[in-house]
Amino acid sequence: MQVYPLKFEPIFKRRIWGGRKLREVFGKDIPAGEKIGESWELADLPDDKSVIANGELAGRTLASAIEEYPKEITGDENFSGPFPLLIKILDAQDILSVQVHPDRETCRRMGKGEPKTECWYVISAEPGAVIYKGLKKGISKEQFTQAIAKGGAAEMLAKVPVEPGQCHFLPAGTPHSIGPGLLIAEIQTPSDTTYRVFDFNRVDDTGKPRKLHIPEALESIHFDATGDELGVTTVGRLVDCDYFKIDEGHQAEDGELLLLPGIMITLLILSGFGIIEQADGDSVELRAGNTMLVPAAYEGAVRFGSDTQYLIVTI
């Protein structure tokens, strides 16, 4: 089989803080009447595996396709899963819980969980929108523990105003939250381990509060790091860490992005429209909100039908 650019069926996640923006902005077919907070665009977790939506491999999971064509897709004939990225689009219409994700050493020490490093690219932001990113300078473990008990955990975090086009990097061990009115592309390592310390006294559909994980969170937080050490990027190479690299791209109408063989890339289309014409006569359309995996063995080009912004993710 000749490998080709792969698109995927989104995996929608109901969230207490979600809304309907994924349909309004990107036309995603989210369930009627549901608060959808996350669209998992590319995933390979035990209980959530992306299904290919186009071409000869349609209906198969990404994991099974890579198992059959490891070198063609990843560039490594000895590749073993899981796929090293989890890509989401978040619709935060209410504030998220104050939470943290563990690093690899913390997972080993506690004997559970999967490490998670992530970044947030702000797609749209309502006026006054903020995120909470890292501890304020000088906050100790004891102070944070006391603040949790008093319901003031969010006040211990650095409150950061945000604008569209910003990228915020959050290494594992960084306590954080996302404020309301934000549409965000989240690129992260393949983990769903989240430890909540405060959920603003909310209850779920059954009238019960969501579970907190205070001991695990306190064990995971890097109290020697502060939010003022975490910068923001807006152009060019947005993130360059051990787990992934992210570059921001822009093409005007009638522009072209060459897809050269040798390295696997993931494209996230933030706005605009493009199309890939394939040698077999088929085409792959890309619209705002789409995520596409370009196999390492593929060669071609995206031709843009309108002014388009996108992210390129490599590992």
* Residue numbers annotated as active site: 196
Do residues 103 and 199 touch, judged by C-beta distance below 8 A? Answer: no
Q: What are residue 152's phi and psi, to 5 degrees?
A: -115, 25
* One-letter amino acid of 274: G
Do residues 287 and 306 touch, judged by C-beta distance below 8 A? Answer: no
Token output for 202: 């909310």
The pairing of strands 291-294 and 265-271 is antiparallel
Do residues 156 and 149 touch, judged by C-beta distance below 8 A? Answer: no
Q: Can you give the three-state secondary structure of the chain, one letter per residue?
A: CCCCCEEEECEEEEEEEEECHHHHHHCCCCCCCCCEEEEEEECEECCEECEECCCCCCCCEHHHHHHHCHHHHHCCCCCCCCCCCEEEEEEECCCCCEEECCCHHHHHHHCCCCCCCEEEEEEEECCCCEEEEEECCCCCHHHHHHHHHCCCHHHHEEEEECCCCCEEEECCCCCEEECCCEEEEEEECCCCCCEEEECCCCCCCCCCCCCCCHHHHHHHCCCCCCHHHCCEECCCEEEECCCCEEEEEEECCCCEEEECCCCCEEEEEEECEEEEECCCCCEEEEECCCEEEECCCCCEEEEECCCEEEEEEEC
